[in-house]
Structure 1
Amino acid sequence: MDRRDIEYFLAVVDHGSFARAARSLRVSQPSVSDAVRKLERGLGVALFDRSSKGATPTATGIRMLAEAREIERKFQLLEHDARAETKTKRAHLHLALPGILAVHPMADLLSAFLAQRTEVDVRLSDPPTEQAVWEAVASGAADFGFVTQLRQPGFHSLFLGTHRLVAVFPPGTPPGLGPVDVDEFARSAWVSGPPRGFFSRQLVDEQVKARGLVQNRLVVTDHRQAIGPLTLKGAGPSLLNPIEAADLVARGAVVRPTTPVFERPYYVIYSDSADVDSDERRHFLAVASALVPEFDATHRSALEVCDGSL
């Protein structure tokens, strides 16, 4: 299997026929057909149901689609990085962080940093777990990482603030119900991400297990950006940071505090061996340090908005 096979497979899916896929790729139809047949022989399964009307993915083809798109996306990223290396050298930063920190504090931090350093290219990546963030920084793949726990020697860290999570309920939920306890989470069909990579889920799972409870039902999504909309549409409550929750309150959601309080600090980390003498890295740390009071003020302001929905 090579990249061309993946590219041709995706083109047939997107265009619904081998002929239209060939035209979009500006190659002959036999080239597309041969590439897909080669892929099918290698996998030992049919990927398309073929008819005079076109080509429709089989069940196996549909299952393969998401993986194929991810492979193609990674190829495109590699090409982008390779092209960037051949252009005029520009300073760049690679930041690895879990999704929950991409909204706060990253939005404010990057805005302040890039306002002063317009010549720096920045890339944000979302490793699947916090351990993967540490590994990215340790290997040099990322210049800085953002984590909620300090657990490994050989790194420097800067405390940035604390995330206190709140429970968000759909519009129409009666206000004034008081704090949500772990028993209620265990009974509820709440909206969450998978255990790996979602520390809100990890916190609840730890408490449920510690109390010997059994989780009733979960609505699990890999897409963090879907949690808020699913909650608003009544799929179930969710556990979010107050910055995200405040946006949902403006759209009618109801927020309740939790007991116990779910909160964790967050830090920026970098390796002992990292080159922090470079201007962009040194400046990034300086901006992050200067914004710590602002991060706290933003968090408190969002909590006040959430408290107003109780």
Structure 2
Amino acid sequence: MELRQLKYFLAVAQEANFTRAAELVHVSQPGISTQIRQLESDLGATLIDRSGRGARLTAVGEVALGHARSVLAAVDSLRQAVEEMNGLVRGRLVVGMVTACTVAPLFEALSSFHRAHPGVELSLVEDDSAGLVERVREGSLDLALVGTAGKPPAGLDAWQIVAEPVVAAVPPGHPLAAREYVALAELGSYPLICLPRGTGIRAVLDQAAAALGLSLPISLEAGAPGAVVNLAERGLGVAVLSASMAGQDKGLRPLAITDVDTLAVLSLVSTPSGSPALRELMAHCRRAFGAESREEPVAASGATAR
């Protein structure tokens, strides 16, 4: 008994005609007839009633049909399982992250995944969050670490890592340095230093300003949070950062912004139909961020919202 014979048998059962069944499986009509007779000989029973104009299943054929379907379904499952395992032996994953965003747990996840599956080629690219989201949607990126305003982007699988407030940060001696909080309209009196458009922090700031009808004076933009901090330390403006970014530098005093309620969110996003290799990489990410057994992750060391 051969698998192709079972496939031919299913085709004849479906079409109730040897000629149409042969066309369906792309073999000649004599060829499919020969294989069905060989199957019947192996089983010691007639499966197809050929006495009429068509081809009908005999009572034995009806019983054999269910078993034939089960056998072929089991073979398909076996093939799929092997293909999935092969996907962890070879293949390619392209991972994106926000430009100049140093998140140690992500790097640890990539490292541990590479050690476990050296046959999978890993590529890392940088872009702003808006560009990364678009590239995930179009399929050129498998996974991306992105910053957004308020919540992860819709329509993608997303695992939220950090959600934190946006704050202002000023050096000692600045007119706001003695304050604990400031309104967004007040910040408009000072030159601001911020990350560029396409980052989560900038999206939070721009959305809040638009909601209040404000036009904020962004005097300087820098792609790296460290550059924003350094520029602010030198008195070139008020830095707008996430709370964790501002808190890491002792040279700046963070101030809560009273009328900005939306949080800056950092998430890992991918398309819903992920490959076995991508699912395995996500498992490494969960372990690296210390949230292997949690449904909702908490802020992890080395992770700050962009």
Normalised by the length of structure 1, the TM-score is: 0.55
Deviation at 1:282, TM superposition (A): 4.8
Equivalence map 1:1-310=2 (5 Å): 93-99=93-99, 102-103=101-102, 106-115=103-112, 117-118=114-115, 119=118, 122-130=122-130, 132-147=131-146, 148=148, 149-153=151-155, 155-173=156-174, 175-194=177-196, 196-215=197-216, 217-224=217-224, 225-249=226-250, 252-260=251-259, 261-277=261-277, 280-287=280-287, 290-291=290-291, 295-296=298-299, 298=301
Q: String of CA shifts for 1:221-278, please: whole Å, max 9, x gaps.
A: 25334211111111011111233323322xx221112213451333212112321356
Counterpart residue type for residue 205 of structure 2: V
Deviation at 1:128, TM superposition (A): 3.4
Q: String of CA shifts for 1:103-131, please: whole Å, max 9, x gaps.
A: 3xx3223225524643466443232342x
Residue of structure 1 equivalent to 2:35: none
Normalised by the length of structure 2, the TM-score is: 0.55
Count of aligned pairs:
204
Partner-residue secondary structure (3-state), 2:94:
strand
Residue of structure 2 equivalent to 1:78: none
User: Partners of 1:180 and 1:91 in 2: how far apart?
Assistant: 51
Partner-residue secondary structure (3-state), 1:187:
coil
Q: String of CA shifts for 1:65-100, please: whole Å, max 9, x gaps.
A: xxxxxxxxxxxxxxxxxxxxxxxx976542223348
- Bigger relative contact order, structure 1 or 2, given CA contacts below 8 A and separation 6+? 2
Q: String of CA shifts for 1:13-63, please: whole Å, max 9, x gaps.
A: xxxxxxxxxxxxxxxxxxxxxxxxxxxxxxxxxxxxxxxxxxxxxxxxxxx
User: Partners of 2:121 and 2:173 in 1: how far apart?
Assistant: 44
Partner-residue secondary structure (3-state), 1:188:
coil
8 Å Cα contact 1:243/1:299 also seen in 2: no
More helix by share: 1
Rate the CA distance shift 1:157–1:294 in 2: closer, same or farther, 3 A.
closer
Mind listing any 5+ residue stretches in structure 2 that lack a counterpart? 1-88
